[in-house]
Structure 1
């Protein structure tokens, strides 16, 4: 059964024009964060979105609120694309390959990697972002386990390894067409994942338990007082 993809709760109840402005701002921020980093001026985000800076601040009172919205949208999109690949492809291997290709081509995994240091505390102490992240993990785990059961994915690969590959960023030499470089590197990567390779990988695979432990919700530490000393 596909996971239902829901829009963030803060979009419910908005007028159509307000929702459209919010979506334009988030989409512009996603692109600019990838291009220039998360410290890009908010005025530039507003300009790219085609709205006034006052409109941006009505929807997002500060940079942290915008970062959080971009993180939510990114995670929801990852879930949606993974579930669509699982539903439409003939088997788990092809679903996994499709998902990893999309992550690399659209740099979908790279954006959460940029956002995570800034949302680190919210992800580990807040339920909503944590639950979205767990949904991505669940889909990746399902594809990995089924592809290995089918004998198409090598046994010494874990879902944590797949999660690392989701953040793959490919440098394109100036004299090579971008599409060609992307396609070549992706096929090299996928060939290395396929069962039957005699290559021995260093270290141990990153398992589903590793991923869950890393993304577990953690309560913030209580401030120390003189009574603790």
Structure 2
């Protein structure tokens, strides 16, 4: 009894798609979504024709990467909310989960091209709101624990992180990863409860970002 002749093709197509998304995630996070498609295909180890068969244009690839990435961040945030010993620890671990969270900020807040493509996509909007809802929950719980300052909101955390990862060009820093990690640590200290400078205005909420 012979195997279904379509099965290997489907498996190859899925593997190629996964490789393309994985390569695009890395490249988009470090260089933004304007990188030439040929470079993404080369990083994925596939031909340009294969890339365009899976994703007919850049917009389709950006959407696919965004859905995959937001889903990964959401799953990680939900697991941390359950498994971390405190809400503060969950929030800290989420912020240090740099690659996925950094790409989310690139796609949703830092890249105008990606923002225009994704702003009306219902699946991306649903996942983005769900991520912010998880962050909002962690913020509220950490404030109730007394570990997070009371005058910040989930939007403040998202905006801080987005500003932090707007990295200098690679040639300006010898160790960009170390610089980002150090700045996350400084940011986390600024979020800790305790004597601090009074912030102007009001806490930025997730609704301010949606």
Question: Structures share a fold, TM > 0.5?
Answer: yes
Q: Determine which of 1, 12, 16 is the counterpart of 1:17.
A: 12
The normalised TM-score by structure 2 is 0.82
Name the structure 2 match of 1:224.
Answer: none
2:27 corresponding residue in structure 1: 32
> So what's the TM-score if we normalise by structure 1?
0.76
In structure 1, how many angstroms separate the alpha carbons of the residues matched to 2:42 and 2:139?
Answer: 41
| Pairwise CA RMSD | 2.5
Aligned length: 198
Partner in structure 1 of residue 92 of structure 2: 97
Match of 1:195 among 193, 196, 206: 193
Q: Look up the SS of the partner of 1:141 in the other structure.
A: helix
Moved over 6 A (4+): none
Q: Does 1:77 align with 2:72?
A: yes
Give unmatched runs, 5+ long, in structure 1: 1-13, 216-229
Give the deviation of 1:44 after TM superposition.
1.3
- In the aligned structure 2, how far is the partner of 1:105 from the partner of 1:128? 18
Matches of residues 115-134 of structure 1 in structure 2 within 5 Å?
A: 117-121=112-116, 123-134=118-129
User: Which residue is equivalent to 1:45?
Assistant: 40
How far apart are residue 135 of structure 1 and its match?
A: 0.9
- Cα 1:147–1:178, aligned 2, differ >3 Å: closer, same or farther? same
Q: Gapped runs of 5+ residues in structure 2?
A: 1-8
Q: Write the deviation string for residues 3-48 of structure 1: whole angstroms up to 9, x where unpaired.
A: xxxxxxxxxxx82221111011111112222333322221111111
Once the two structures are TM-superposed, the CA of residue 209 in structure 1 deviates from its matched residue by: 3.3
Question: Which segment is superposed worse, 150-159 or 70-79?
Answer: 70-79
| Secondary structure, aligned partner of 1:181 | helix
SS in 2 for 1:90: coil
